[in-house]
Amino acid sequence: MTAAMTAIYPGSFDPVTKGHLDVMRRSSELFGTLIVAVLRNTSKAPMFDIDERREMIAQAVSAEKLPAVTVTAFDGLLTDFAAEVGAQIIVRGLRAVSDVEYELQMSLMNRRLKPGLETVFLTASEDVSFISSRLVREIARLGGDVSGLVPASVLARLKERFGPGVEGKA
């Protein structure tokens, strides 16, 4: 039997999707504790600021009743943050073969920076494997229906910004 481990699930989460929540639920069941680490300063200008991104995740995690999940923001190197919070595992989701190149490179680089910090990949559940934050942002901006792709906390904020079309009520 393995001892309970602390895992960290890093990302931009701009915004969090049902795909991310699927990874959070499954990885929090695998590991004792899951820390969702939201990157404060992404290289791209985010649609939602760090407080909004964190709040939307916290609301969704609470609605999904995931008690082993905590949400926090981080800056700087992921490997430094993992050491700070005592995480032994990085969790990332894989949706398609196209994700693999980028994810492989990051995991190898993180291992070089901090040997012993392992990256574990969870393959996306089939019903959410086509969802990405980038497509959610694009569809919402253009007034399309994103209900079913994001949790209620995100849908509410997208509706405030882009109108009722985002929940299919245009």
Annotated active-site residue 137? The verdict is no
Contact between 15 and ligand PNS per CB under 6 A: no
- Tell me which residue of 170, 165, 158 sits closest to 15, measured CA to CA: 158
Restricted to residues 23-42, the positions that interact with ligand PNS (CB under 6 A) are 39
107 is catalytic: no
46 binds ligand PNS (CB under 6 A): no
Is 20 catalytic? The answer is yes
Could you tell me which stretch among 10-18, 26-34, 56-64, 151-159 binds ligand PNS (CB under 6 A)?
Answer: 10-18
Is the torsion defined by CA of 136, 140, 144, 148 positive or negative? positive
Is 11 a residue that touches ligand PNS (CB under 6 A)?
A: yes
Do residues 13 and 53 lie in contact, with contact meaning Cβ atoms separated by under 8 Å? yes
Q: Which of 34, 78, 140, 158 binds ligand PNS (CB under 6 A)?
A: 78
Q: Which of 20, 53, 54, 137 is catalytic?
A: 20
Q: Which stretch binds ligand PNS (CB under 6 A): 53-61, 105-113, 124-132, 134-142?
A: 105-113
Residue 153: closest CA among 48, 9, 57, 68: 57
For residue 15, cis peptide bond before it (omega within 30 degrees of 0): yes
1 vs 113 by CB, closer to ligand PNS: 113
Amino acid at 163: G
Does residue 44 have an active-site annotation?
yes
Sheet of 33-39: strands edge to edge?
A: 69-74, 33-39, 6-11, 89-94, 118-123
110 near ligand PNS, judged by CB under 6 A: yes
Question: Are the C-beta atoms of 72 and 84 separated by less than 8 Å?
Answer: no
Q: What six digits make up the tokens of 8?
A: 């960290």
The residues carrying an active-site annotation are 20, 44, 95, 133
Question: Which residues of this chain interact with ligand PNS, rule CB under 6 A?
Answer: 10-12, 39, 77-78, 106, 109-110
